[in-house]
Amino acid sequence: MQSPPITKKIKLRYKDAPQKVSFAASGVWGGNNFQGQLVVNFFVESRPYPESTEVTLEVGKKPITHPVLPSPEGELVMTREIQASVVLDPNLALVIGEWLVRHGRRLRDQLKRGQMPVMTPGSEELEDVTRTSDGDAEAKA
């Protein structure tokens, strides 16, 4: 005769790591590595800073600013600065991708309807994505 499975509830608490930062992302760049993981590099896109700025001053007039750009005239140069990198196993990457699509659509639809997006405990907006003991990933509300 087989004994019933042992079930125990564990409370998970969240806390910020001292080095945690929040940042905006313009996009991602990456792909798989040789260990079978997905590497995701989040970047912010911007124009490069000018090498310097020259200011023309005339008495009684507003200053005129002239940036000295590092690239030839007419050439558009953009900088993609990597803000953070995440390495994921394929199962977790798929679950996080589904989570992002589901929550992104919900938020986009709320904003289109003019609703204020508010997250409250117990609401479907709050959801955890985690890896299970067998290595698979799953989303839990």
Distance CA 94, CA 79 (A): 29
Residue 139 in any domain: the answer is yes
Listed residues 73, 88, 103: the one ending a domain: 88
Residue 83 belongs to some domain of the structure: yes
Q: Are 73 and 112 part of one and the same domain?
A: no
Position 99 in a domain: yes
Asked if residue 101 is part of any domain, the answer here is yes
Query: How high is the pLDDT of residue 122?
Result: 55
pLDDT of 90: 95
Residue where a domain terminates, one of 43, 66, 88: 88
* Below-50 pLDDT ranges, the chain: none
| Helix, strand, coil percentages in the chain from 3-state DSSP, rounded to 5 | 15, 30, 55
What is the C-alpha separation between 15 and 20, in angstroms, rounded? 10
Residue 131 lies in a domain: yes
On whether residue 8 sits in a domain, the answer given is: no
Q: Considering only the C-alpha atoms of the chain, give the largest distance between any 2 of them, rounded to a whole number of Å.
A: 97
- Domain of residue 26 covers 22-88
Which pLDDT belongs to residue 51? 76
Is the distance from CB of 88 to CB of 82 less than 8 angstroms? no
The pLDDT score that the predictor gives to residue 5 is: 80
Residues 110 and 136 in one domain: yes
Residue of 12, 44, 38 whose CA lies nearest to 96: 38
| 102 three-state secondary structure | helix
Whole-structure pTM over 0.75, yes or no? no
User: Which helix (DSSP H) or strand (DSSP E) does residue 66 occupy?
Assistant: strand 64-68
Q: Which of 64, 88, 112 is the last residue of a domain?
A: 88
Q: How many domains does one find in the chain?
A: 2
